[in-house]
Amino acid sequence: MSPIKLFRALALTGICAAFSLFATAQSSNHGAVTGVVTASDSNPVATAAITLSGVDGPQYSTTASVDGVFLINNLPSGTYVLKVSSPGFAIYEQPSITVAVGRTTHLSIQLTLANVQQSVGVVAQQSSVDPTQTSSVVNIDRDRVEELPIPSRNYLTFVLLAPQVAAANPALQQGIAQGTGSFSFGGLRPGSNAIYLDEVNDNDEYSGGSRTQLSPEAISDFQIVNHGFAAQSGGGAGGSIDVQTRSGLNRIHGDAFTFVQNGALNGTQPLGFTPYKPDENRIRMGVAIGGPIQHDKTFYYVAAEQEIAHGQEVNDLRPSTLNIINQALKQHGPLPGLNLQTGFFPTTDQETELSSRIDRTLSANEAIMLRYAFTNTRNVNDAFNTDELTDRTARGSSFLADNSLNGTLTSTFSSTLLNKLSFELAQRRAVQKTSSSSGAGIFIPGVALFGTPYSGNSRRFETHLEFADSVSLQRRHHLFQAGGRIDRVALRTSIPDGSQGFFIFPNLTALQTGNADFFIQSFGKNFKTNLSEIRVAAFAQDHWTLSNKLTLDYGIRYDYNHLPTGLPQNALNFSPRLGLAWTPWKATVLRSGFGIFYDRFILSTINRLLAFDGIHGYSQILEDKAAATLYQSGNLPTAPITGVAPSIWRAQPDMRTPYSQVASFSVEQALPLQTTLTGEYQYVHGIKLGRTSNINLPPPVQLTLQNAASVGISSPTAQQLGRPAFSTLRLNPAFDAINQFATSANSTYHGATITLNRQFQDDLQIMAGYTFSKTIDDASSDLEQPQNPYMLGQERGLSLQDQRHRFTLSGLWLIGPDLNDAADAAKNANPSPLMKALTGLEFAPIVSIASGFRANPITGVDSNRQHIFPFASRPDGFSRNSLSTPVNVNVNLRVLKMIPWGRGHLDVVAESFNLLNHQNISLLNPAFGSNSQPALEFARPIAASTARRIQFSLDYEF
């Protein structure tokens, strides 16, 4: 059997299996070119021959219909040469037609009668807007990926260039791992996004982030879809990112580069008590090369990077606090040998990235793409998202290894019928280990965290096997699309959260006397789980061009998550979609739409439900005098404590799949110089979102001095008296806490955005946007618990993802001709002396100004005795998420000088991240304390983004 037949057989087998279970699909990661061909008298030119030739790449052809209309679909992103010919007319040529992922380029072509000059070069009227696009999208093209400054080489950082996309709140990554990505659409949870890489899923389903870390040199471009109203868009309740990797050409091309950072040039950290800068040396080297294996038939592209960084971190606890803690540890407790250290300690970052892609044209009607990617990342001593109050012992190291193999077979059965088969086999290995992994952990909220933290020692293997198929059929004014996808996700874990025991003290004085207020420890059968989930869905839609002014997208999508045995299954997940694009005037497009978007469950939540179900594992909790007595004994339990009921996790019996309802209206106006101005309003309603509640509590009582002992509180505090508290009785006495995961939370987002976008023309590119929004919810993560399970309405408030104002600006300004553009360079072959000196200078800024991150004030201990962790008790008079960090301001700048050298050019680059060295606070101390007045450090900063960094690089492109 030939390789292509084997590929097709494997893919078809997977697709058949998918449809037997109910299938899914996702949009193509390619672009299209459409237009109308007319004569000088405006009459259509039927059967005109249209050819698009890629620069040193393949050629695509079609024929205009009787009304002069043509469409070339499934085009890789890039710049093409357009040629149109018809008997009796001069040949029409246009050397620069831009195609972007997920977008349709619209052209208006007018042919002239043949004469002595049989070929004319005319600039086509390429519209800066896509009048048939019904959804709100932002394209990040190759120029932005290559030239804009980002502090890490993670290409997904560019997603935040879109003003409607907000950065994830760092508070969601604190404490117990909650499963979160790095950005949010429509105020929804960061783990609700869908990321697609070359047609296949690239989500880390355990954490909610992304998996494959590719070199930016391997990225062609990508599209940010802020909820697409075409039924093909989906995979999450939030937005989607469609990424296309780079392919080879008929000529050898590529680059080699080196990035260097030195801590001596960086700014001083904005927080902490250390009087001097930490040492840091960071170097990143890489190479990318592509070219032909067989001219016009087979192409390759390989990109590889290696980063090695050595730095320093420091425990930023006050010296007086360190002395008190070390003296207290010597006096009593289970950690007599522990001694917190001052000063810097070494950190290491290493990352290896490799990707290789092969494209093969099998025939005039078939093409295949195969890509393999590998990433290996190591971070030593500072791998977790910790704050300044976390000691080195509670910090840790991590290891990530990703391997993925994916491919796509594209079959063009006719000029109107296209089919795509895709597959992926991928595995992620993730290991985390804290610096201290034996002995208990100790937490003094708002003061210090040290010892073995509750979470941070884990191993997991996530394996994906995915098949997808989609078919497109063009019939006059209709583009019908349907398809299917199946993704089997297997997860093996060992996550012993809390197995070493974890004590919480209300303040330093309590630590000195050994009066712990809370203790939790987990017990289980080696804490290992082995589960799998199958995700399938299906879509059918019609892209109907009713006229040259009106386009309608309508269809339906079906999503289904087949959860592991024992968990509730919900199959009725149909989501209708409707999108409209109307062009009342030539340069104005009005868009509107409505859609339902079903989410998926984060596997960290599913894993916890299975691992702590009371059979495989559970926790035991002691509070007040029982916790203090255990701490003062100096001995940690090695087996479950007799007489203490277990605390477990359960799923809501009628658990439903979370989803969002989205509606939007926008106006896009085309301006001169390939510039557009867009105003949009969007409404997003998150429904059936996950939350957790202890459902084993009896109704609370109003705490008084007289009933405090019966509730189990020996010394009531100001934050307890006169407020609801729960007795030691339980509805089901066989258990202590029954933490039920339920899909009962909701969110509401209203946002208005204005965006100015100028495509790269005349050596200038600009994108600027401002969003004013508000997000309200009653739970911002799966693990968030209410302060009172009997008063869920009190939880309604500002979301952790609420970010009222957000402004972004990015741009490219190149002085002189683009040395990557031969035509531009030839046109400016004889510059003046001044222009000659300035030619090749490029400036690329990124500016972002955003409202601060929300923070949820808490007393710091389990004041109302819910027996839960993390705690939910808020100080009297404070509403949920009522704290906020100051405004975050960040300015990045890249300055580049191109120097012609040999067959290419050398780029000498200087970059600065956080150029203004602004103190961007990311976390506040939420611990109010147990007294009527707040603790001294309450609401003060405990974490900030990186101070100013300077980076230099050399990049030789050829």
| Residue 16 scores a pLDDT above 80 | no
Residues 365-377, mean pLDDT to the nearest whole number: 95
- Find tokens 């037609």 and name the residue: 97
584-624 pLDDT, tens per residue? 988 999 999 999 999 999 999 999 999 999 999 999 999 99
Helix, strand, or coil (residue 837): helix
Residues 296-312, mean pLDDT to the nearest whole number: 95
| Residue 387 scores a pLDDT above 60 | yes
pLDDT of residue 397: 94
pLDDT of residue 126: 60
pLDDT of residue 153: 86
Spatial distance between the Cα atoms of 19 and 8, rounded to a whole number of angstroms? 16
Q: Which of 52-61, 449-458, 773-782 has the lowest mean pLDDT?
A: 52-61
Going from the C-alpha of 300 to that of each of 4, 100, 367, the distances in angstroms are 18, 21, 14
Residues 321-332, mean pLDDT to the nearest whole number: 93
In this structure, what DSSP letter does residue 394 have?
Answer: G
Which of 573, 565, 510, 566 has the alpha carbon at shortest distance from 538?
573
In this structure, what DSSP letter does residue 203 have?
Answer: B
Scored b (16 or more CB within 10 A) or e, 632-654 reads beeebbeeeeeeebbbbbbbbee
The more confidently predicted of residues 20 and 708 is 708
pLDDT of residue 583: 94
Mean pLDDT of the chain: 89
903 band by pLDDT with thresholds 50, 70 and 90: confident
Helix, strand, or coil (residue 321): helix
492-517 pLDDT, tens per residue? 999 999 999 999 999 999 999 999 99
Quickly list DSSP for 36-98. Answer: EEE-TTS-B-TT-EEEEEETTS-EEEEE--TTSEEEEEEEPSEEEEEEEE-TTBPEEEEEEEE
Going from the C-alpha of 497 to that of each of 441, 551, 609, the distances in angstroms are 11, 53, 13
92 band by pLDDT with thresholds 50, 70 and 90: confident
pLDDT of residue 127: 66
Going from the C-alpha of 258 to that of each of 584, 882, 955, the distances in angstroms are 51, 45, 7
**Residue 758, token pair as written in the block:** 């100028």
Spatial distance between the Cα atoms of 234 and 178, rounded to a whole number of angstroms? 22
pLDDT of residue 826: 60
| Residue 822 scores a pLDDT above 70 | no
Looking at 712-737, which runs of residues are DSSP E strands? 724-725
Spatial distance between the Cα atoms of 733 and 727, rounded to a whole number of angstroms? 12
pLDDT of residue 827: 59
| Residue 300 scores a pLDDT above 50 | yes
Residues 30-56, mean pLDDT to the nearest whole number: 83
Q: How many CB atoms sit inside 10 A of residue 73's CB?
A: 20
The reply to whether the predicted model has a pTM over 0.75 is yes
User: Which residues are CB-contacts of 36 (< 8 A; sequence separation ≥ 6)?
Assistant: 44, 64, 67, 68, 69, 70, 107, 108, 109, 548
| Residue 759 scores a pLDDT above 90 | no
The more confidently predicted of residues 342 and 393 is 393
pLDDT of residue 922: 94
Residue type, 536: V
Residues 108-127, mean pLDDT to the nearest whole number: 63
| Residue 294 scores a pLDDT above 50 | yes
| Residue 302 scores a pLDDT above 60 | yes
pLDDT of residue 60: 84
